[in-house]
Structure 1
Amino acid sequence: MIDIQRRQLLQFAVASAALSAFPGLGLAASAGLQVASPLGLPQVILARALRDPRLIEHLGERELRTWRDPDQLRAWIAGSEVQLTATPTNVAANLYNRGVPVVLMNVNVWGTLGILGLDGELASLADLAGIHVGVPWRGDMPDLVLRYLLDREGMEIGRDLRVTYQASPFETVQTLLAQRLDAAVLPEPMRTSTRLQASSLGLDTVELDLQAEWARLTGTPPGLPQAGVICRRELFESRPEWIVAVQSAVAGAVDWVAANPAEAGQLGARYSSLPAPVIEGAIKRTRLEMRSATQARPELEGFLGALAELSPAFIGGGVPNDGFYLADDLPARG
């Protein structure tokens, strides 16, 4: 784990240096907008947003790429290959805290995490007592959310339950379906895909919504500010009208995706290898709501701050300062 963190620190340092050396390269390199997203629901939202006629009027050419892991995203941002991207909120905070000139525009995904179990009962975290749980990406969001909630529940890994870590959700899923785990912490759309696979194998599943558990144990509204959209700082400084158009288009896209899961599933399947029914099922199990960075800030600071208590490296240090949040009242272009 220490080696991984050192590698990430070096990558952030390289990215920050590159961005400082070429602050305006992103806008000079293309007349349109280069957009990126990870696989999953953030990609479906951006794919829909980029079809908004008002956005097309402002941007003209636009391209949506898929990034496979944060390392690839950092490289694209460092090389100014993309100016705007969907990303988990912790990755956004990490980039900012390492000196990369990005700002958070909005948060639109408010909960993809859950626990999928084989048989038994999963009415609350207490039902994990005595069982074996798989968790992908040690030290990342699924792990930290689980650990934080277990502590709130008064449970301890090793004493009350057994946890093993896998390098990826795919490995976690394979281990669960082989019945070498009793349950697994998974994000959407991986959880929906796994549930469908388990059903095809004749395995019964139960699920626990970790957003609901967070609300129960913290006294906050259900929903975790997990993903949103960031842009390079010089983009909103040079093209504030683009950012206003993007914000409006994303808001419309979030509403459309939530209201039309079947059609959204078909759209998402065009951009990824995920079948439309999997994306559709994931949409139905995910809290989608567009909030500007300013509107989302109180809950985001609480969420990131709580997880950073377990691992400050998760967000690259402390909770980001004012400069991280895009203001709701963008200045007029001078």
Structure 2
Amino acid sequence: MKSKRWTALALSLALSMTLLAGCGGGEPAPTATPAPESSATPAPTQESERTEVRLAMLNGPTGMGAAKLISDHLAGETRNDYQVEVASQPTDLTAKLGKGEVDIAALPTNVAANLYQKTGNIQMLALNTLGVLYILENGDTVHSMADLAGKTLYATGQGANPEYVLRYLLEQNGLDGESDVNIVWKTSEEVQTLMASGEAELAMLPVPAATAVTMQNPDVRLALDFNDAWEESGAGGTFTMGCVVARKDFIEEHPQAVEDFLTEYAESIAFIAEGSDEAAQMVVDAGIVPKLPIAKAAIPQANLVCITGSDMLDINSYYEVLFQADPASIGGGIPDDGFFYIP
């Protein structure tokens, strides 16, 4: 699994460099000065010709990969003129996409599928994060999903993707999520408190909440990565929880801006995924993670990728799992190929 993640990043970076070589860049063109007797309008500069892209990211892993792109935009070094906002809830962005107030946005993959089924007016541009769910243990007894048998697991995400994936992986390991494992559903904040205080022995949490717990209580370890559990269970396709989408009409009107975004986004993800101090600071500066130590520790656990083109179709196996658990979670059906931006 690790090699697959880094292969995706390497391919994305290679694509970025190829596109950069073909597009040039350079200094803005000088403004033409009309002759004194002429009333001609000065020629537009390269700056004025940049496409305005209203870009929206989410707090947490789904938004992390865009941190360098946001930093570069603030420094005036991006090809597009990005108008950036960072939201805390996907519903904030789905509403704006529907109203045409946002052009490109990061969303959970199930939310993206749901919105496509309802409106038909978005396409997935890239998958940006693999699974970010972890089993945390205050101890050292759990090394596989099967080891959860007979134990109490505190978890967040009831009625949503975390629950569906957890139950699927338990079933794949011969366990019933009702009788073999005592799952206690609570809010993320409640689960964090129980694990950090040592009152609970096992929990399921996403990054960066899981990261924060391990920093608060050094006795707590990341026992299971759901990406590894997905692969070990024999599940097909890619377990991918985050993506970026764009409005179809924006793609049709500004195809070059979309290609430029994907180039800059791939470079941004590759840089942030390296997990340097500079990358972590960019994530904090962008308002995506609140504290530098958490950002620094969470980046390696966020499983950042940039998967584009036909490779995105691998997510359909994950959508099949969600569909079997609750068809409404992805809008009532597996998205057709029109959902995927494959130029």
TM normalised by structure 2 equals: 0.79
Q: Describe the superposition over 1:133-159 as per-residue Cα deviations: whole angstroms up to 9, x where unpaired.
A: 122121212111111000111101232
State the alpha-carbon separation in 2 of the partners of residues 278 and 36 from structure 1: 22
Aligned residues: 292
Match of 2:86 in 1: 66
State the alpha-carbon separation in 1 of the partners of residues 62 and 221 from structure 2: 26
State the alpha-carbon separation in 2 of the partners of residues 55 and 86 from structure 1: 22
Q: Describe the superposition over 1:254-292 as per-residue Cα deviations: whole angstroms up to 9, x where unpaired.
A: 111122442221111113352122112121123222111
Aligned partners of 2:104 and 2:245 also within 8 Å: yes
Alignment map for 1:1-334 (pairs within 5 Å): 32-52=52-72, 58-60=79-81, 62-166=82-186, 168-199=187-218, 203-218=219-234, 220=236, 224-272=239-287, 274-297=290-313, 299-327=314-342, 329=343
Q: Percent identity?
A: 25
Secondary structure of the structure 2 residue equivalent to 1:320 = coil
Alpha-carbon shift at residue 230 of structure 1 (Å): 0.3
Aligned partners of 2:58 and 2:86 also within 8 Å: yes
Aligned partners of 1:106 and 1:290 also within 8 Å: yes
Alpha-carbon shift at residue 220 of structure 1 (Å): 4.4
Q: Describe the superposition over 1:296-326 as per-residue Cα deviations: whole angstroms up to 9, x where unpaired.
A: 21x2001111121011111111110121000
Query: Residues 261 and 129 from structure 1, CA distance in 2 versus in 1: closer, same or farther, beyond 3 angstroms?
Result: farther
Q: Describe the superposition over 1:61-93 as per-residue Cα deviations: whole angstroms up to 9, x where unpaired.
A: x22212221222222223322111111111110
Alpha-carbon shift at residue 172 of structure 1 (Å): 2.0
Match of 2:32 in 1: none
Secondary structure of the structure 2 residue equivalent to 1:126 = helix
Alpha-carbon shift at residue 294 of structure 1 (Å): 2.1
Aligned partners of 2:281 and 2:292 also within 8 Å: yes
Secondary structure of the structure 1 residue equivalent to 2:119 = coil
Query: Residues 268 and 197 from structure 1, CA distance in 2 versus in 1: closer, same or farther, beyond 3 angstroms?
Result: same
Secondary structure of the structure 2 residue equivalent to 1:226 = strand
Q: Describe the superposition over 1:93-123 as per-residue Cα deviations: whole angstroms up to 9, x where unpaired.
A: 0100112511100112122111111113221
Structure 1, unmatched stretches of 5+, are 1-30, 330-334
Structure 2, unmatched stretches of 5+, are 1-50
Secondary structure of the structure 2 residue equivalent to 1:231 = strand
- Partner letter of residue 245 of structure 1? D
State the alpha-carbon separation in 2 of the partners of residues 285 and 171 from structure 1: 21
State the alpha-carbon separation in 2 of the partners of residues 192 and 126 from structure 1: 23
TM normalised by structure 1 equals: 0.81
Secondary structure of the structure 2 residue equivalent to 1:263 = helix
Alpha-carbon shift at residue 179 of structure 1 (Å): 4.1
State the alpha-carbon separation in 2 of the partners of residues 289 and 55 from structure 1: 25
State the alpha-carbon separation in 2 of the partners of residues 292 and 206 from structure 1: 29
Root-mean-square deviation (CA, aligned residues, Å) is: 2.3
State the alpha-carbon separation in 2 of the partners of residues 176 and 302 from structure 1: 32
State the alpha-carbon separation in 1 of the partners of residues 53 and 235 from structure 2: 41
